[in-house]
A and B are shown apart, each in its own frame.
Chain A
Amino acid sequence: MKGRLATAESQTGSHAVRNGLSRRPIWRRMLRDKYLYFMLVPVFCFYFLFKYVPIVGEIIAFKDYRFSDGVFGSSWVGFKHFQMIFASSDFWRILRNTLMLNLYSLVFGFPVPIILALLLNEVRRNWYKRIVQNMLYIPHFMSWAVLGSIVIAALSPSTGIVNLLLKKITGGESIYFMADSFWWPIAYTIAGIWREAGWGTILYLAAMASIDPQLYEAAKIDGAAKLRQIWHITLPGIRGTIAILLILRMGQMMDVGLEQTLVHQNNSVLDVADVISTYVYRVGLQNMSYSYTTAIGLFQSVIGVILVLGVNRLIRLFGERGLW
């Protein structure tokens, strides 16, 4: 063994130290890195226990889970819970709401950071640009418990600032934004945009900063106005960034933020505000129908994974770099 190593090292000459290392037998290399492996032991335990064990726990979707019997002791029931899901009207309602709210925030929310970034990019005074940006990020660092309470307070029919202004301008009746199934999704979407729009501009602005300034100069010489420059240079320049963020966004299509929905929800709007995650929380934990709601959750995540893989493929078909 030793002899072979020696000849290998002598053959490769000056790179012997570097390459010779990787030609040692595996166990020697592992022994050499023993401290690195020690370091990884807790990491491995963490991923195993808190990421993989729950995935295995998903099998209770195919069982009648009872706490006293444990995950493995409970009896198998096959696809019973899935049949129950597809037969229940609750499920179609929460599925519709999930997709609807998501579609709203995708259609109205996704372009907002792009537009904001385009506007900010045109601001020439640097200090002003920086201040505006910093202000825009702030809501991102607030939890939904805080933002939700602010939104509810601002939209309150009697004391909320929005209704007070509306009454002053139009003189009409106040609107029950949070208790009306027409207004609730709108309020929900706008609150979501308020929180995340500024944060989303960071990546777009960075992408815009990396566009070659010579392109703009050339365009100016050719007589392109501001709007044409944005259309022909800035937007194509950030196309890749938009594509990647869109994939990531699509991955969440089946998943409406639990925390936001929870704080905005109230019983008078449940027909539009109940989404998969809140339903699982409410029915699953509070009524203890574990297996049934796990089946719903499993359905949700499988569709989610399919969506990510699908959109990623689609985007690569269009010639952009996907996630992998």
Chain B
Amino acid sequence: MLTLFPFWYEIVASLSSSRAITSGEVFLWPIEFNTVAYRRLFDDGQLIMAMGNTIIVTIVGTLFNVIMTIMAAYPLSRKRLVGRNGLLLCITISMLFVAGLIPNFILIKSLGLMNSYWAIWLPGLISTYNMFVMKTFMEGLPEEIEESASIDGAGDLRILLQIYLPLCKPILAALSLFYAVGWWNSYFNVMLYITESTKLTVMVKLYQMISLVDSNLLNNMGGNEALEQVLLTPEALKAAAVVIVVTPILCIYPFLQKHFVKGVLIGSVKG
């Protein structure tokens, strides 16, 4: 209950009047029920537009991820592939040594990707960890399947598309979900590389609502009154924004949660 109450409280707060929140009357149920906060967010249109951007980022990003992860995992799971160990070593090293923020930023800038979603899709094409999960899963499938198919005259592509992918459905579902949630929640990369306000995603908008205001004010006034003032003003509005952003995940959550768990467990087998 403790983990969920904060979410419930946000819903309640988003439906209450600001006066009631400020005076501390709001607890379990909305006080002075109204939907002003939602109407203002919808009328404003910014958050809705950002929502659209987030959906695009999520769908396209996940699609890229899944295709690329398969393209990496399948060949690397074939033990007969010449040079396999060398490639795997290179990939493992890239997991251990990760370049810092600044070199990555310079790279994206030099590639001229600023202000384009490619700047966030391309560097995130494959999560090495997820790729290893998928590779391990494919290695776990009996080799005889592949052998009999190749005797029947199927090429590598055919074997992958018609035999392996259907068998990989559970793990594909789990990984797509991980990727999709990651894209939905991503805001730091967007903040770094996207500056045009019409291209921002929902999480960045939310982040701006909670933090930009307060750092500016604090700079000017310093101290606690400033913080106080920021937190006073758009309380119901912020709550409503949180609710809007969270709703899609909460809606699909009950259907998907078993896939998530499966994904983690398959991943841990490798451990």
A contact residues vs B (CB 8 Å cutoff)? 18, 21-22, 26, 29-30, 33, 35-37, 39-40, 42-44, 46-47, 49-58, 60, 65, 67, 70-71, 134-139, 141-143, 145-146, 148-154, 156-161, 164, 176, 178-179, 194, 198-199, 202-203, 206, 241, 244, 258-259, 262-263, 265-268, 277, 280-281, 284-285, 290, 293-294, 297-298, 300-301, 305, 308
Please give me the residue from chain B that is nearest to A48 by CB atom: B90
Q: Are A57 and B106 in contact (CB under 8 A)?
A: yes
Q: How far is the CB of A130 from chain B (nearest CB, A)?
A: 10
Q: List 12 A-B contacts (CB under 8 A).
A: A29-B80, A36-B75, A39-B74, A42-B68, A57-B99, A60-B103, A135-B4, A137-B261, A150-B242, A161-B9, A203-B265, A266-B215
Q: A39-B71, A60-B106, A134-B257 given as contacts; is B156 within 8 A of A301 (CB)?
A: no
Q: Are B227 and A268 in contact (CB under 8 A)?
A: yes
- Interface status of B185 (Cβ within 8 A of chain A): yes
Please give me the residue from chain B that is nearest to A176 by CB atom: B224
Q: How far is the CB of B187 from chain A (nearest CB, A)?
A: 5
Q: Are A154 and B103 in contact (CB under 8 A)?
A: no
- Interface status of B123 (Cβ within 8 A of chain A): yes
Q: Are A284 and B101 in contact (CB under 8 A)?
A: yes
Please give me the residue from chain A that is nearest to B226 by CB atom: A268
Please give me the residue from chain A that is nearest to B24 by CB atom: A164
Q: Are A179 and B188 in contact (CB under 8 A)?
A: no
B112-125 vs A, Cβ < 8 Å mask (1 yes, 0 no): 00000000001101
B contact residues vs A (CB 8 Å cutoff)? 1, 3-4, 6-7, 9-10, 13, 21-22, 24, 27, 68, 71-72, 74-76, 78, 80-83, 87, 90-91, 94, 96-107, 109-110, 122-123, 125-126, 147, 155-157, 181, 184-188, 192, 203-204, 206-207, 209-211, 214-215, 218-219, 222-224, 227-228, 231-232, 235, 238-239, 241-242, 245-246, 249-250, 253-254, 257, 260-261, 264-265, 268, 271
Instruction: Kindly identify which residue among B1, B185, B231, B264 contacts A153, using a CB–CB cutoff of 8 Å.
Output: B231
Q: Are A137 and B260 in contact (CB under 8 A)?
A: yes
Q: How far is the CB of A17 from chain B (nearest CB, A)?
A: 8
Q: Are B218 and A297 in contact (CB under 8 A)?
A: no
- What is the CA–CA distance of A202 and B83 in the complex, to the nearest angstrom? 36
Instruction: Kindly identify which residue among B27, B107, B156, B227 contacts A161, using a CB–CB cutoff of 8 Å.
Output: B27
Q: A55-B97, A176-B227, A268-B224 given as contacts; is B102 within 8 A of A143 (CB)?
A: no
Q: A158-B232, A262-B211 given as contacts; is B101 within 8 A of A305 (CB)?
A: no
Q: A55-B99, A268-B222 given as contacts; is B210 within 8 A of A152 (CB)?
A: yes
Give the interface SS of chain A, mostly helix, strand, loop or mixed.
helix
The 6 closest A-B pairs by CB, nearest first: A297-B100, A57-B103, A54-B99, A143-B185, A36-B75, A51-B94
Q: A33-B82, A50-B123, A139-B3 given as contacts; is B265 within 8 A of A266 (CB)?
A: no
Chain A residues near B3 (CB-CB < 8 A): 135-136, 138-139, 194, 198
Please give me the residue from chain B that is nearest to A27 by CB atom: B82
Q: Are B210 and A47 in contact (CB under 8 A)?
A: no
- What is the CA–CA distance of A265 and B218 in the complex, to the nearest angstrom? 12
Chain A residues near B209 (CB-CB < 8 A): 149
Q: Are B123 and A40 in contact (CB under 8 A)?
A: no
Chain B residues near A42 (CB-CB < 8 A): 68, 71
Please give me the residue from chain A that is nearest to B74 by CB atom: A39
Q: Are A267 and B219 in contact (CB under 8 A)?
A: yes
Chain A residues near B239 (CB-CB < 8 A): 153
Please give me the residue from chain A that is nearest to B177 by CB atom: A141
Q: Are B218 and A266 in contact (CB under 8 A)?
A: yes
Q: How far is the CB of B81 from chain A (nearest CB, A)?
A: 6
- What is the CA–CA distance of A264 and B254 in the complex, to the nearest angstrom? 29
- What is the CA–CA distance of A268 and B21 in the complex, to the nearest angstrom? 25
Q: How far is the CB of A257 from chain B (nearest CB, A)?
A: 10
- What is the CA–CA distance of A268 and B156 in the complex, to the nearest angstrom? 60
Chain B residues near A60 (CB-CB < 8 A): 102-103, 106
- What is the CA–CA distance of A138 and B239 in the complex, to the nearest angstrom? 18
Q: A149-B210, A153-B235, A298-B100 given as contacts; is B227 within 8 A of A46 (CB)?
A: no
Q: A46-B125, A57-B106 given as contacts; is B242 within 8 A of A33 (CB)?
A: no
- What is the CA–CA distance of A267 and B217 in the complex, to the nearest angstrom? 10
Q: Are B125 and A138 in contact (CB under 8 A)?
A: no
Chain A residues near B187 (CB-CB < 8 A): 143, 145, 259
- What is the CA–CA distance of A142 and B245 in the complex, to the nearest angstrom? 9
Q: How far is the CB of A107 from chain B (nearest CB, A)?
A: 20
- What is the CA–CA distance of A40 and B88 in the complex, to the nearest angstrom? 12
- B106, B187, B219, B232 — most chain A CB neighbours (10 Å): B106
Q: A54-B104, A285-B101 given as contacts; is B87 within 8 A of A40 (CB)?
A: yes
Q: Are B102 and A150 in contact (CB under 8 A)?
A: no
Instruction: Kindly identify which residue among A51, A143, A157, A267 contacts B203, using a CB–CB cutoff of 8 Å.
Output: A143
Chain A residues near B68 (CB-CB < 8 A): 42-43, 46
Q: Are A293 and B102 in contact (CB under 8 A)?
A: yes
Q: A43-B126, A159-B24 given as contacts; is B78 within 8 A of A305 (CB)?
A: no
- What is the CA–CA distance of A67 and B1 in the complex, to the nearest angstrom? 52
Q: How far is the CB of A192 from chain B (nearest CB, A)?
A: 13
Q: How far is the CB of A94 from chain B (nearest CB, A)?
A: 14
Q: Are B100 and A300 in contact (CB under 8 A)?
A: yes
- What is the CA–CA distance of A159 and B75 in the complex, to the nearest angstrom? 56
